[in-house]
Amino acid sequence: MNVTILFTWNENGKAIFLTERNVLVKSYCSLSNTCSFQDCFQSCDMTNAAKGYLVDTTSNPSIVTLDGELSAGIGEYKIGKNVLLKAMGLGSCVGVVLSDVSTGICGIAHVLLPGASNNGETKYAETAIEKMLEDMIKLGARKSKISAKFAGGSQVFKHMNLEILKIGNRNARSVEETLINKNIPILAKDVGGDVGRNVIFNPVDGSMIVKYTKGEVLWL
C-alpha cells in the first residue's frame, strides 16, 4: 500500500498527516482542540499544504516525510530513525519515548509492569528502558544526548472492586525512577488521570503527541 506520512508546520501549529494512495486518512494536529473544523480534513493552511505536497512534492519547503511508522505492542519496544513511533491504547500501561535529537535515533516502549525483570523481559519498566537504551546506543545514538518523554499510567476504572487494577501510578513511578537513576533528562510527561491514551512520537521535531481515547490531543 502506498502510505506516506507527512509532517508540516506553520506559525500557528504543527500537524502529522497519514496518507494512503495520496488521500489524507488520518491526522494529528496541535490545533485540534481549538480548531473549528471537526474532522481536520477541511481546508486549512496545513491540510492544503499537505494536499499540495501529494500532488507536487516540491511545492512546500515546510513539509517533511517520515519513513513509515512502528507501533510497540504491549510489553515490547521499537526503535528507529525518522519513523513515527506509536504505543496505542494505553490504560495502566506507560508509553516511554527516548530520543537523541543529534542523530535522530529514537525509541518507544510500551511498559506493562513496574520494576525490573530477572530474565530480561521488556514488559517491566526498568528492563524495557535499559534494553531500549542499549539498542539505541548500538545503532549510533549518543547517551549524553538522549532525553525522555513519557505518558500513560491512568486508572480508567470508574467503579473498582479489584485492588490489583490500581497499577497505573506504580508503572508511571517506576518509569520516572528508572529515568532519574540513568540520568536521562525528562522533558515532558503526562501521567495519571482516568482516561486512556495513545502516545505518538514525531522524531522530526521531537514532540510527543498524546491523544486521549476520548478525543483531546496534547503536543508535548
Partner 1 sequence: MIDLENLGEMELDVLKELGNIGAGHAATSLSQLLDKDVFISVPEVKVGEIKYIFNDFIPDIVAGVIIALQDLEENRSGYLYIMFPEESSRKIASNLFGLEELDEEMYESTIMEVGNILSSSFCDASADFMDIILLPSPPSFALDVPTAVVDSVVSQMARESNHIILFETALSSDSDIEIYFALLPESGLFDEIMKMMELL
Chain residues in the site for partner 1 (CB under 8 A): 73-76, 88-93, 110, 112-113, 121, 123, 154, 156-162, 164-168, 171, 195-197, 213-214
- Total Cβ atoms within 10 A of residue 183: 9
**Regarding beta strands 3-9 and 14-20, do their DSSP bridges make them parallel or antiparallel, or are they unpaired?**
antiparallel
For residue 45, the one-letter residue type is D
Q: Which is nearer to partner 1, 104 or 193 (CB)?
A: 193
Identify the active-site residue in 29, 40, 93, 106.
Answer: 93
Tell me the closest approach of the beta carbon of residue 125 to partner 1, in angstroms.
Answer: 11
Residue with cell 507536487: 56
Answer for the pair 77, 131: CB distance below 8 angstroms, yes or no: yes
Q: What gap in Å lies between CA 212 and CA 185, rounded to an integer?
A: 24
Which residue number, 61 or 158, has a Cβ lying nearer to partner 1? Answer: 158
Concerning whether 93 is annotated as a catalytic residue, the answer is: yes
Least distance from C-beta 91 to partner 1, angstroms? 3
CB nearer partner 1, residue 147 or residue 169: 169
CB of 85 to partner 1, least distance (A): 15
Q: Is the dihedral of CA 130, 132, 135, 137 positive or negative?
A: negative
Residues with catalytic function: 93
